[in-house]
Structure 1
Amino acid sequence: MIFDNDDDSIYVGPPVDGEMIRQAQEALGVRLPASYLGLLRVQNGGILRNRCFPTAFPTSWASGHMCVDVILGIGGAWGIDLVSSRLIAEWEYPEIGVVLGITPSAGPDTIMFDYSECGTQSDPSVSYVDEDRVPRRIADSFTEFLNGFVSCREYGEEAD
């Protein structure tokens, strides 16, 4: 399982059903990837077990990787349908799509579903947005993104 076993986390939303998905997609104005929705049917967001993601470029976190603490779900207090547009406005992220997760810095950088090349009704790539607000693609799909996480111990960091 990609998530830590903390079902009581404030980031774990209510059980997902078809109506929640419809409402979230309508609120966001995009079609969410089937692989993302499949994950949310197992657990609706939460804290990640392995939190480091290798990058081919330096980030504000490290020279060759980034860290993501949380993948956001839908619905609930921390659902992307509620917080994404607020975070984009508050942190002046580029208007490329939907904020997908929370990094340890909780604002200066983030990860987003990037619909800028595919349109709002196709499967987006995943981009990292650093303090410079330039989106950098880190995965061609949500599945590739999920499969890219590694233990932060690989980078000499104490814990994930």
Structure 2
Amino acid sequence: MSDFPHDIDLDAFWDHASSRKINQPPASAAMIAELQALLGYRLPPSYVAFMHRYNGGCPHLCCCPTEQGTSWAEDHCAIDSFLSIGRDTRYSLGGSLGSRFMIEEWGYPDLGVYICNCPSAGHDMVALDYRECGPEGEPRVVHVDQEGDYEVTVLAPNFEAFVRALVSPEVYDTSEQDYLDDLDTVAGAPFSPLLEELLEHFPDVPDLGSLIRQVALRIVHDKRCFALHADPLSHLLYDLQFWLYQNRYPVPSQEAYLEVYQDMIAFAKGFGTGGYAPDFIRDWFRARLADGHLRQAAGGLALTPAYRAQLLEQLSGFRPADPQTQEQP
């Protein structure tokens, strides 16, 4: 097997702590041959050698410059992880969330082999592109953007050049400006059409739209960004979105709800987080079912009246104090 150039420190390249769920033992020659037959493409020797030394994981150098904007940034794309060469784990080339899955289930163009996940949880990917070289040739590396109608951006002429192009996210550190932009977003950006519709048909809390903005402002102040995870304020926004939706439409199952969830805030063009991790929503769903706050009703799954009362009590803490009720000096 040819070796990857030794002037690249691959031990320092990887974030070993974050890679544990993805990294696998080196792939055997038999496994590589099996995958090449499954995928329909010859994997380039530089890629195979690179992955032989550390088979999949999360890199420290995770940003690749681009000459045009992507859904991630105006001048680069970001990589979350390299899929391992194998078939036995979800995040492997031949796994349940591997290259063929992205083509057959997510509609990505069949241009080659998808090798890197991005932070958007599936809404953009990095691939080996064989369209010009053929299935036995040396593929270029491209970024494919689902959010941009699967627009393809060339990142490098070959895999080695791609790895050499990767830089630290510190090169593109815009955290302070991002914080200010997120404050503006949650304070005044328009809600998505679906969220606007749901608020319009929600008489229980007439000022719920402004209260959602107040919760989001608290999240941005705490995290320095608008992102929903597994913390209490994120769970509050998960609760409110579900309450709004089930008030207007039936929710027959968790999966049915996940199909519409992203249209409320996650991928909204104005007031939105720009992405989400489905496992956070699934965990919230399981927790609400387990604690009895979410139950099956005649019209589908719904929050219980007692829990809705708790949410109203929580929301009262986000309303500004009435000056007329404050004690005068």
Tell me, yes or no, whether TM beats 0.5. yes
- Structure 2: distance between partners of 1:43 and 1:7: 13
- Listed as ranges, the matches of 1:4-43 within 5 Å are 4-6=15-17, 9-43=20-54
Q: CA deviation at 1:99?
A: 0.8
Letter in 2 for 1:137: V
Q: CA offsets per residue over residues 79-119 of structure 1, 9 Å max, x none?
A: 11231111122221111011111000021111111011110
1:118 and 2:156 aligned? no
Q: Any idea what SS the aligned residue of 1:41 has?
A: helix
- Which ranges of structure 2 fall in alignment gaps of 5 or more residues? 1-9, 176-329
- Would the alpha carbon gap of residues 50 and 157 (structure 1) be closer, same or farther in structure 2, given more than 3 Å must change? farther
Letter in 2 for 1:31: R
- Structure 2: distance between partners of 1:47 and 1:133: 24
Check conservation: 1:94, 1:135, Cα contact below 8 A.
no
The equivalent residue for 1:153 is: 170
Check conservation: 1:55, 1:65, Cα contact below 8 A.
yes
Q: Work out which of the two has the higher radius of gyration on C-alpha atoms and give 1 or 2.
A: 2
- Percent sequence identity is 37
Q: CA deviation at 1:49?
A: 1.0
The equivalent residue for 2:275 is: none
Q: CA deviation at 1:134?
A: 2.0
More strand as a share of residues: 1
1:143 and 2:160 aligned? yes
Q: Any idea what SS the aligned residue of 2:55 has?
A: coil
TM-score when scaled to structure 2?
Answer: 0.46
More helix as a share of residues: 2
Check conservation: 1:50, 1:150, Cα contact below 8 A.
yes
The equivalent residue for 2:151 is: 134
- Structure 1: distance between partners of 2:68 and 2:15: 27
- Which ranges of structure 1 fall in alignment gaps of 5 or more residues? none
Match among 98, 116, 128 for residue 113 of structure 2: 98
Check conservation: 1:94, 1:134, Cα contact below 8 A.
no
CA RMSD of the aligned region, Å?
Answer: 1.5
Q: How many residues align?
A: 158
Q: CA deviation at 1:57?
A: 0.3
